[in-house]
Amino acid sequence: MPRTIKNLERVAVFSEESAFLKWAYDKPVRRIDSKYAGVVHSGDLYPLFPVGDSPTEEVGIKLGGDKFNKKEHKIFWPSNEPLSFRDYCPSETKWHIEVNRFGNYVVFNGDFSFAEHLSGHLADNGLSVLRVDQSSRPADNGIHYDFFIRVSSDHEPDQVRAIAAKYFTCSATPQLPASELNLHEEVHDQSEVLIWIDRVRELTKENEGLYTVFEDYEEEISALREASQGKEEIQNELSRLQERYENLNETLSKVRERARSDQRLDTLLTTVLTQYDNIAVFKDSVRLITEEFPKVEGLIAALHTINNNDAALTTLRGTSNWKELRQHINTGDPNKPNMGRIYLKNTGGLNYVIIHKKHDDKDQQRLIRQLDMLNLNDSVFLYPHSSNIV
């Protein structure tokens, strides 16, 4: 997929009654009617809307509401363009029910797209829709509306009015439950730790680079000393290199001191991973995160979900009650971003967790076969709020 397409990391999914159901991850954004943003979920295209007054700038979709055929909306939203949302509520729409000898008429203001969706709403609720068209005359209340929908006279006017009212009456925009907002805030609160982790990574790379140059200078100085034999120009070159060597050694000492003051990356990760009350993390996972997860925000969010016992899991066949987190974790690797995996087993109320980056199917199956070999009471796990450092 081209990188110019806007892709949402996650979208909140709500029921028809505005209850939060789950998160949908990694959703490309499409244009609806060339001007509104939407995403595909379970085969249908739903319009996006901002979620309540959340400070987290989350967006969501509502099942049972308006939906579109994704084949008719194939244009994707550019990554550099802000999202534009369709009004969640048609609260200002003027409408009326007219009853005459031809049937029941729902008359209203709006465009053709709105009329089509209202017609679908009436039909989905058991009404026989006979015609949808633009109004050519005023209704019986003297107002000339934009459109009308003719409904069979077999239905009572009060029934038609009640079903139509459900479409025109709108409640407040759905809200995320407090637990989901708290999860976001908890992950956000760890941003300072994540910044320290990135900083230590940079220092580690700088340190390794200086070691390489340092060793090169040591070899060159040693060779010049052996070949100098009193030659003045070599002595001058030796002096210059010696000065450079001393400056480099001083710089290396400063980098070492900075790295010590910032603590080792493994120590920082251990501090984060042992904060949970219901999770024990496999120690070898710390080194894997250091080397294979350039970004850890998605991993931390997933661990919060497991700790709260809200995670969607799949049982691993052939194992003794080991499960896999259904959500695939974004590792931050631009070539294979969603290859992070989490395996866990709940024993005695504690979730024993193994974090893995999948390289291929054989690699994944090899790890799964080894899960039952682990001693869950061994010291190979980081237990909640422990101070043991890997």
Q: Using 50, 70 and 90 to split pLDDT, how confident is the model at 236?
A: confident
- Tell me the three state secondary structure of residue 93: coil
Mean pLDDT of 237-248: 78
Q: pLDDT tens across 14-69, in order?
A: 887 677 888 899 999 999 988 889 999 999 999 998 886 554 578 999 887 778 99
Distance CA 102, CA 145 (A): 18
Query: What distance, in Å, lies between the first and last C-alpha atoms of the chain?
Result: 39
Main-chain phi, psi angles of 329, to 5 degrees: -90, 135
What strands, in cross-sheet order, belong to the sheet with 381-382? 313-315, 323-325, 340-347, 350-357, 279-282, 381-382
Tokens of 65: 């509401």
Q: What number does CATH give the domain 95-168? A: 3.30.70
Tokens of 162: 């009640």
- Where is pLDDT greater, at 156 or 265? 156
Of the listed ranges 187-191, 218-222, 333-337, 377-381, the one predicted with least confidence: 187-191
- Where is pLDDT greater, at 56 or 79? 79
Of the listed ranges 52-56, 79-83, 312-316, the one predicted with least confidence: 52-56
- pLDDT, residue 25, reads 92
Q: Using 50, 70 and 90 to split pLDDT, how confident is the model at 193?
A: low
Mean pLDDT of 239-262: 69
Distance CA 161, CA 150 (A): 13
- Where is pLDDT greater, at 341 or 182? 341
* Bridge partners for 381 per DSSP: 282
- pLDDT, residue 262, reads 44
Overall pTM > 0.75: no
- pLDDT, residue 55, reads 46
Mean pLDDT of 255-277: 67
199: nearest Cα among 251, 261, 252, 262: 262
- Where is pLDDT greater, at 31 or 194? 31
Residue 85 has pLDDT above 60, yes or no: yes
Length reported for the chain: 390
Residue 2 has pLDDT above 50, yes or no: no
Q: Using 50, 70 and 90 to split pLDDT, how confident is the model at 98?
A: very high
Mean pLDDT of 375-384: 83
Q: What is the mean pLDDT of the chain?
A: 81
CB atoms within 10 A of CB 365: 11
- Where is pLDDT greater, at 210 or 28? 28
37: nearest Cα among 153, 51, 46: 46
Mean pLDDT of 321-336: 90
